[in-house]
Structure 1
Amino acid sequence: MNSKWIFDIFKRLIKKKSFWVITIIIIIAIIGIGKLTAPKKVEYVQEKVIKGRLVQTVSETGSVLAATNINLNFKGTGTIVEMNIKEGDEVKKDDILARLDAGSLEIQVRQAQANLSIAQANLNRLFAGASREDIKVTQETVNNAKIAYENAQKDYEIMSVKLAADLKAYSEALNLAEKNLTNTGNTITQTVDDARQTLITTIRSKANAANTTLDFIDYQFTNLGNVADYQAKINTWDYYTQALEKQTDLNNILIYSDQTVAGKIDEATSLALGLLEDINLSLNSLFNTIGSTMADARFSQLKIDNDKALVKAEQTTNSANLSAVQAAEFAYKTAKLNATSSTDTSTSNYNTAKANYDSAIATHDSQLNAAQANIDSALGNYNLTKAQLDLKKAPARGVDIAYYQAQVDQAKAALDLVLKNLDDYTIYAPRDGLITFVNYKVGEQIGFGITSITEAAKAVISMISKDQYEIEVDVPESDIVKVKVGNLARITLDAYGSDVVFDGTVMFIDLAETNIQDVVYYKVKVEINPYDLEIKPGMTANVDIVTAEKNDVLIVPIRAIKETQDKKKYVEILSFGKPKQVFVEIGLRGDDGYEITSGLNEGDQVIVYKK
């Protein structure tokens, strides 16, 4: 009934226009909300790792100035010995203006010249070939080297036989000593074991006898009559009770096997000896006690004498038992002492034989190695002399000529180097001009004892050049450490536009700082290379100083490099559609990217940013 009623209502609704309007609006809203809430797809922008030239520059803007002054300094340090100009003199390019004392360098120049002469002489001698006399001497050297090689072989054979015989003798001695040590150990072990077993057997036997004697003392003491020597009676009982205590302790050991008793042999021996000694003392006191018994109806003199005789017999038996234990103990201790002495002797003999054998092995190896080294050395010398003889007989080979020519070239290069170093001690006029200042004189030191930045920056000579312009720029302290005198520069002038590029060179870096709006700058002067276009002072110049460059290196964009919290550098690459970190090592940071020294290959795609 209810379902039919609901169906009727639904039929009436779908016939109404408003129902369909509302339904469509709801569907559109659901679709819109779905699109708004659906996650956006991330798009990654990538660039390839390329190989090429990477340049690092420092870019600044300055003004063109007339290059009215050139500061000249020595590259070396020392004492001025020559000053050829004064203020106001006109000079020509490459004129020598001043010199430092270069005594040590001049010696090096002469040495380099001598080395060049020697190298040239060796090359000339190679072309000339060896003389007949030289070949004869070398042949004799070969003969002697051959004899030395053969003698070294014979010495090795003789030594090998002798050392083998010595080693065999020491080996046999060691085997004998080892055998004696083993036999001694077996023998003395058995001897000690036998003596200990005899002592154990004796203790067991005499302990049983002691039990009987103690029973005898107890019986006699219990049946004593009236005695006059009461102290002897007390002593009898005291020694008897002491003996009983030792008997108990001894029996507590003897209840175990002989193997267990052997582990407590010293304690058992001490108890057995103490037991028998206390019994002896108790019997002596008992004998005196019975002897002081007063004869009466119960104890006749005959009984007293008979009891004394019985005690005397027990004394004899117990003393014999005590002597037997003492003798067994002495035999055991003697066996142990002899065992220690024999073992020490055999061990000492073995150690001596072992040391002798080890020493013989070391001697055998070292002497044979030395003899073999003599053979190798003699053979090497023999082969060397033969090669030298063949070389002297043979005509000059191309490779030999190349070798000696290389030595000549090397000597020339060394000479050129010291000559260049010598030039560092000389100031030449870089171009035509007029001397404006001479700040030092002959005898003064250059580079020693500088006390201030001003003194360090003071030029030796200043001059004015003709028809030359320079650009002065202010470089911030964050970049100044990259700039060096001699760095090349690319220059554009606003007057000619960015398409006209001039070349230049960094000529001067001011050591004194300049503060501009609380920022530290250093003045740098860049000289413009010769040009055809007209340049006027005051023109605005844009200067790119090339501070570093590398060719044929892997390069990635700067923004591709990221850094972890512990300062490790990495890039991201796509792996199955997701970013993946790849750690890299970077080198030079250039204007167009970073140099990659490890971690990537040419052609790899790295993520630059994501949309």
Structure 2
Amino acid sequence: MNFIKKFKVLIIFVIILLAVVGYFLLKPEKPPRIDTVKVELTDLKQFVSVVGNVKAAKNADLAFENGGKVSKVHFDVGDHVNAGDVLAELNVADLQADLQQAKAQVSSAEATLGQYKAVLSAEQARLDEMKSGTRLEEIKIAQTKVDNAKSDLSIAKLDLETTKTKAQTDLENLYDDVINTLNDGHTKADNAINTQLDDLFTNVNNVDFTFEPNNSQLEVNALTARRDSLLELTKLRTEIDKVHTSNLDFDNALSVGKTSLLAVRYFLNLVGDVLDGDVSLSTATLATYKTNLNTAKTNVNTALTSISNLQQSILAQKNTNIDNINSIQAIVDGAEFDLRSAEDELNLKLAGYTKEQVDAQTAKVQQAEANIVSQRAIINQKNASVESAQAKIEKNIIHSPIKGVITKQDAKEGEIVSANTIVISIISELEFEIEAYITEVDISKIKIGNKAQVVLDAYGDDELFEASVVSIDPAERVIEGVSTYKTTLQFSNGVEKIRSGMTADLEIMTNHLENIIAIPLRAVLNKDNNKVVRKLVNGEIVYENVTTGLRGSDGKVEILSGIKEGEIIITFIEE
């Protein structure tokens, strides 16, 4: 009886075992888990984490990173200053110009982005229209666009012709003054040599001074220069009497005139050197000669200025003409493009749309989207140029790194100072600061003025303190085989609770980007030497090349190009 009972139990156990094995062998395979995120605009912060120690506060000795001319000094010895106050500045006019140019490039790039967005909107609208078909009202609207585009083109072409005519007239008016200006210059130069200085030279074939200069070499130089000046005046007279048939002829004539008058001025300067030396002349005669010479110099310089001014006016007018014509030509080109687009649109509406046309319009939409992504990357590059220009300016400005009192002020307005020469010293009004040694990997991210959150071990995470970087030692200190750089931070709050020797956990913010596309770093893969992400499109996995930027401390990385807001990105696929 017991045997039968045991046999039944064994049979039941075997059945259960077979059922369990069969379940695991025959159950459907579970699909792999896929984690995704939706691409959104976000903020990205980058921190450097380091441990430091609280120490008694020290003084700050400050110097310009660059050398140059001091333009402004804002505080004197004994003045109280706050952290961040501008203490002194070098002349940065050229750097300011670079900064303005960089900002202008950003504005231009942003304007282009706006145009690309407008193009995308228009192309998308056209695609939607092509998919929905054409109505009679739309054909009428398209015809009106063609008529308006033709009218705009006619107006633009008329403006272009008017602008070209005015440009030619304005330039001819300036060239009309060329011969008169050269005649005036010739007259003044001839008068200088043959009238004002006539008494200084003999009228015989072998011209010489009417007195005996004491410097024989100077005498020879002056006589040679007089001969050269007369030859140049002859060339100028020949040039004036020529028939000038083109603007280039007039330009060459002005160059000849300028060369001739420069030769005359050189001669006059040599005569002045002769008269300034020891000469055998009475005081009255010498005074008369010098008066005549000064009159000659003034007249020749006036004539040279007139020629130079006319050359500059002609050049400026040419540039203005080119700018004006190019500006109107751009309007004409735009009007022609608008007309072609309007005519194409009308023709398409009249003929209806084929599948190939819809596909082509879809490609235009995709290209417009790609242009926007690319332009955003360009804007980021231009913004980087702005930051670079601002950084260069900052190297010519001394900010107070601490709150304190100025004890030394050697920067004087108008003086030239050398780079890294201490010109200002400040004694801190606070009692404590933080010293931390930052590795060479992270030190390039740190700069003066960076803010930091501080947790003191004595008080724990429940109480946060604030500090800012006030100095970075240029010399490294090797700690356990690693190069580090001593970085000093100054507290901004809670000074009454701080004691020397406390351990401080620092989170130094080194960068902060706002309203950018950033995704988890684990979503970016390396494939065929390219950085890619996996997009989930209609249930399918699509690989897309991306360009990355700043890596945040929260595990995210900035995406400069390759994906756009609203797309679904895969962050993990279960193997």
User: What range is the shorter-chain TM-score in?
Assistant: 0.3 to 0.5
Normalization by structure 2: what TM-score? 0.39
Normalization by structure 1: what TM-score? 0.37
Determine which structure has more spread, i.e. the larger CA radius of gyration.
Answer: 1
